[in-house]
Structure 1
Amino acid sequence: MSDASGRRSLADWGLEPAVDYVERTQREDGLVLWYPDGPADPWDHVESAMALSVAGRDAAARRAYRWVADVQHDDGALWATYGDSEDGDGAHEGDEPRKETHRSCYVAVGVWHHYLCTDDRAFLETMWPTVRDALAFACAHQAPTGEIYWTVGPDGEVYEDALVAGCASIYKSLACGAAVADVIGHTEARDRWLEARADLGEAIRERPDRFDRTWESKSRYAMDWFYPVLCGVVTGDPARRRLEAGEDRFLETELGCRCVADEPWVTVAESCELVLSLAAVGRTERAREIYEWLFQWTDDEGVFWTGYQFEDGEFWPGERPTWTGAAAVLAADALSGLSSAADLFTDPQPE
C-alpha cells in the first residue's frame, strides 16, 4: 500500500527481508560480508551500510563506517578485499593484496549519505579524517590527463591504467567528500576535490583513449554503460542518449539488465543501478517498470539472488549477496523517497 502521494514504504516494497539479511550478515566489528562466512570488499560494504541508513538501522550503519575508519591504512587506502578474520587487517585469502582507488574512497559517498539520512553532524565530524585520507589516496593517483589510476600493489607499485566505471565512482566520491568538507568548514579540501573532480569528469567524457589501455576493453560490461550517468559525470540530454543507445544491448525485457552484453545473465544489482540512472534522467516510469521485474529474483525469504541465467533457467551464481539487496533498497529510495537521501544519485551535483 502507498500513501496519498503514491509513495511506498520499505515494507510496501517487500524490502525488509533484504535489510534484515544485511544486518544479520554484519560482523561484530562492523564489516558487512557478501554473505555469511564469505569475503567482503570496501565498496560493497559501504553500499550495504547505506541500505542500513535508509532503513533507519543507524547503530548498525555507524558500526559499518567505524570499521572503515579502524582498518584504513596510513595512506588512506583499504585492501580491495577482506576475508573472514576478525582482525580485518589483511586481504581475503587467495586474493592479491592490492589497494584500489575507487573501493578505498567510496566511504565518502556513504558518510555523506548517512548524514543526509540522519542530520548527524557529530558523525560527520568523527568520520572526517577517514574521508579526507581516503580521497587524498585517490587524488594522489590522478594522472596529468585527469583519469585516476585503478590500483596500487602491495609493494607500492601503481598500475597506470584506469577503469571507466571505477573513475565514475570516484567522481561521485569526490562530490560527496566536497559536500562533507563544505558542511564542516574545510574549504581548501573542498576546492581541491572539486578541481580533481572536474579534471576527472573531463577525462571520462572526452578522453576515452585514457581508459582500458593495458587490458581488454570493459565496454561489454553494463557498468561502463550507465555508471557515468549514475555518478553524474554525464547529465541531461547526453545522459538520456547514452542510456537509450545501450538499452537494446543490455536490457532483457521482463528480466532485467545483463551484467555483460554477450552473456545470458541478468543481475539484480546492475538492474537496480540502471533504475537509478534512468531516474536521474527523468525516465522514472521506465525505471519503476524495470524495478518491478526484479522481485521475481528473490528466495522464499524475500532475499535477492545475485542474478538469473536465462538460457539455463537458473539462479547463477547460487549466492545472495548483501550488496545486491542494498542496491535494491537504494533504488526503492530513489523511486519512493524512503529517506532524506533519496535524491543522492538522481540529482547530481554540477561541476
Structure 2
Amino acid sequence: MTSPGRTEHLVLPGVLTAEQADLTVAGILAMQRPDGAIPWFRGHHLDPWDHTEAAMALDAAGQHGDAERAYDWLAGHQNDDGSWYAAYQDGDAAQVTDRSRETNFCAYVAVGVWHHYLATGDEAFADRMWPVVQRAIEFVLELQQPGGEIGWKREPAEEGGAAVTDALLTGSSSVHQALRCALALAEAREEPQPDWELATGALGHAIRSHPERFLDKSRYSMDWYYPVLGGAVTGPAAKERIEEYWDRFVVPDLGVRCVLPNNWVTGGESCELALALWVMGESDRALEILQSIGHLRAGDGMYWTGYVFDDRAFWPEERTSWTAGSLLLAVAALGGDEATTAVFSGERLPAGLEPDCCR
C-alpha cells in the first residue's frame, strides 16, 4: 500500500476514497515486473504508451521510485533508431510480439519523463533520460509528412522497415502533446530545439485545420476528444467539437463508447474524455464522467476494460494497468496534482511555431 498522505489528491467524491486509491495503486504495482516493465496485466503484452501511462499514474500517487524503474526499462530497451517495438510479451524484451514501431507509442516517453521531472525535480533523472527523449523524438519526426501530420508507424525491419505515411488523428494528437513536453524539457535544460518547434506548429495546424490529412477513424471516440486532450484544439473550437458529438459517444451513467455503433463503453476512453473536459475547464462534467464508470471497478481496486451494456457483461475479461492508470491521472488532475495538471493543461508547455502561411 502507499504511504499515508501520498494519495490525498486522489480522493474524489463518488470516484475514489483514500483507501480505494491505495488499493488501485497497489494493483498497478502488483503488475510491475522487477525490471520495471508494466504490462497490461501479468502474462499479457506491454506496449510503450500504456507502460508510460501506468508509470505516470505511479508518480501521481507518489510512487516515484517505481515510476523511475519503469522509465529505466524504457531507457534500457530503446532501439538504436530511437524507437521501441509495439508489443513485448509480459514486458520481456526477449519476447517481442510486434516488431512494428508506432510513432505515438515512441513519442509518449517525453510526456512521462517531463511528468516525472516535474513531480520529483530530479535533475540526474532528467540528464539520464534526455538522450532517450531526443532519440525518440527524432525517430518520430522522421515520419512527419509535408502537411505536418505524423505517419503512424514503421514496418518491422525484417519486412523492409518501410515508413507508413498514413496518419491517425488520435496518434498525431498524442504526438502533439509529447512534442510540447519534449520542448519543455529542452527549455528547462537550455538546449533549444528549433526544428521541434516548427514540427509542433505544423502538426498542430494540421490537426486543427486539415482533417483530410488523416485517415477517417471518426467512428472511434478517441478521434473526437484527442485533439482537445493533446492540446491542439482549444478554446471555443474545443467546446464546439466536444458538444457536436457528445450524444453519439457518451452513454449516461455508463461512460463513453469506444467505437460506433457498438454498445460498449470503456474505462480508458471515459477517463481520457474526463481529462479533456478538465482541460477545457469543465470539471463538473469531468467528475460526472468519472463517477459514471464506478461500475467498472472490481474488488481488487482495478478496472474492467469495458462493459457491453446490451449484454450486461464486462468485456474483455481483463483489468488493465493502463485503465487504472488513466483513472488515477484524471482524478489527479481534478485533485490539483501539480505535475499532472502541468502536463495536461498545456499552460506551461511551449506551443511550437505555426507555418508562415497560417500565422
SS at 2:151 equivalent: coil
* Cα distance between partner residues in 2 of 1:302 and 1:31: 20
Q: Do structure 1's residue 20 and structure 2's residue 26 form an aligned pair?
A: yes
Provide Cα deviations, 1:207-252, integer angstroms capped at 9, x if missing partner.
212111xxxx211001000000001010001001101111100000
* Cα distance between partner residues in 1 of 2:167 and 2:339: 33
CA contact (8 A) 1:18 1:322 kept: no
Provide Cα deviations, 1:308-335, integer angstroms capped at 9, x if missing partner.
1100001111100100000000000111
Count matched residues.
Answer: 337
**Cα offset, 1:343, TM superposition:** 3.7
Q: Do structure 1's residue 198 and structure 2's residue 204 form an aligned pair?
A: no
**Cα offset, 1:121, TM superposition:** 1.5
Aligned mate of 1:163, from 153, 165, 168: 168
Aligned to 2:123: 121
Aligned to 1:105: 107
Percent identity of the aligned residues? 43
Distance 1:122 1:334, change over 3 A: same
* Cα distance between partner residues in 1 of 2:139 and 2:62: 31
Provide Cα deviations, 1:125-145, integer angstroms capped at 9, x if missing partner.
110010000000001111111
Query: Which one-letter code corresponds to 1:245 in the other structure?
Result: E
**Cα offset, 1:193, TM superposition:** 1.2
Q: Do structure 1's residue 68 and structure 2's residue 70 form an aligned pair?
A: no
* Cα distance between partner residues in 2 of 1:113 and 1:79: 22
Query: Which one-letter code corresponds to 1:84 in the other structure?
Result: D
Query: Which one-letter code corresponds to 2:72 in the other structure?
Result: R
CA contact (8 A) 2:174 2:230 kept: yes
Aligned to 2:64: 58
Aligned to 1:295: 294
Single out whichever of 264-273 and 9-18 deviates more from structure 2.
Answer: 9-18
Distance 1:84 1:8, change over 3 A: closer
Aligned to 1:39: 45
* Cα distance between partner residues in 2 of 1:289 and 1:295: 10
CA contact (8 A) 1:54 1:339 kept: no
Aligned to 2:212: 209
* Cα distance between partner residues in 2 of 1:300 and 1:22: 14
Q: Which runs of 5+ in 2 are unaligned?
A: 353-359
**Cα offset, 1:268, TM superposition:** 0.6
Query: Which one-letter code corresponds to 1:106 in the other structure?
Result: Y
TM-score of the pair, normalised by structure 2:
0.90
**Cα offset, 1:89, TM superposition:** 4.2
Query: Which one-letter code corresponds to 2:86 in the other structure?
Result: A
**Cα offset, 1:7, TM superposition:** 6.1
Aligned mate of 1:133, from 117, 121, 135: 135
**Cα offset, 1:198, TM superposition:** 0.4
**Cα offset, 1:184, TM superposition:** 1.1
Aligned to 2:242: 243
Q: Could you say what the CA RMSD is over the residues aligned between the two structures, in angstroms?
A: 1.7
Q: Do structure 1's residue 145 and structure 2's residue 147 form an aligned pair?
A: yes
Provide Cα deviations, 1:85-105, integer angstroms capped at 9, x if missing partner.
74x14522xx4x201111011
Aligned mate of 2:35, from 21, 29, 40: 29
**Cα offset, 1:11, TM superposition:** 4.4
SS at 2:304 equivalent: coil
